[in-house]
Amino acid sequence: MKVLRVFAVLSALCAGLVLLSQAATLGGQATDLKEQMQKRIDSMGVLLTGLAIDDWSRIEEGAQGLIDTCEAVDWSGPGKELFKKRDEAFCSAAQVLLKHVKEKDLADIQRAFIQTTITCWGCHDLPAAK
């Protein structure tokens, strides 16, 4: 269990760094999108802090923060359908994450956390997001 936690923490840290260094750009999007993305990376950080030090209020705050961004983002511009689809993958991964958080199941939370991180790349890897 300890090993799994260290793994989750490390992989999430790496994910965060890569996401930040890849500052994606997409023409025509409102700066509001950037704000929501900042909230996503912040929420991942809060969640990760919670996981690292067993602080359930931060774990829940982070997971809820991710969900909040789903409602706030309104995709527009070219490629909008594809972005919407990729964002649905992220949002449903985040919903699963929140569900496990409410159940306080640590092993499932760690798996869902990594799964959610993978959906960030699922969209950031799109050529249009670079």
List of residues contacting ligand HEC (CB under 6 A): 19-20, 23-26, 29, 33-34, 37-38, 40-41, 44, 83, 86-87, 90, 116, 119-120, 123-124, 129
Would you state the structure tokens that stand for residue 24, as one six-digit string?
């994606």
Output 48 or 104, the one with its CB closest to ligand HEC. Answer: 48
By beta-carbon proximity to ligand HEC, the closer residue of 5 and 92 is 92
CB of 19 to ligand HEC, least distance (A): 5
Joined together, the tokens standing for residue 43 give: 């929420």
Minimum CB separation from ligand HEC for residue 69, in Å?
8
For 81-86, which contacts have Cβ atoms below 8 Å and span 24 or more sequence positions? 82/126, 82/128, 83/123, 83/126, 83/128, 83/129, 86/119, 86/122, 86/123, 86/126
**Shortest distance (Å) from residue 104 CB to ligand HEC:** 21
Q: Which is nearer to ligand HEC, 1 or 81 (CB)?
A: 81
CB of 107 to ligand HEC, least distance (A): 20
Nearer to ligand HEC, 52 or 129 (CB): 129
Both tokens assigned to 64: 């809820």
Distance in angstroms (rounded) separating the CA atoms of residues 48 and 43: 8
Helix axes 56-72, 80-103, angle to 10 degrees: 160
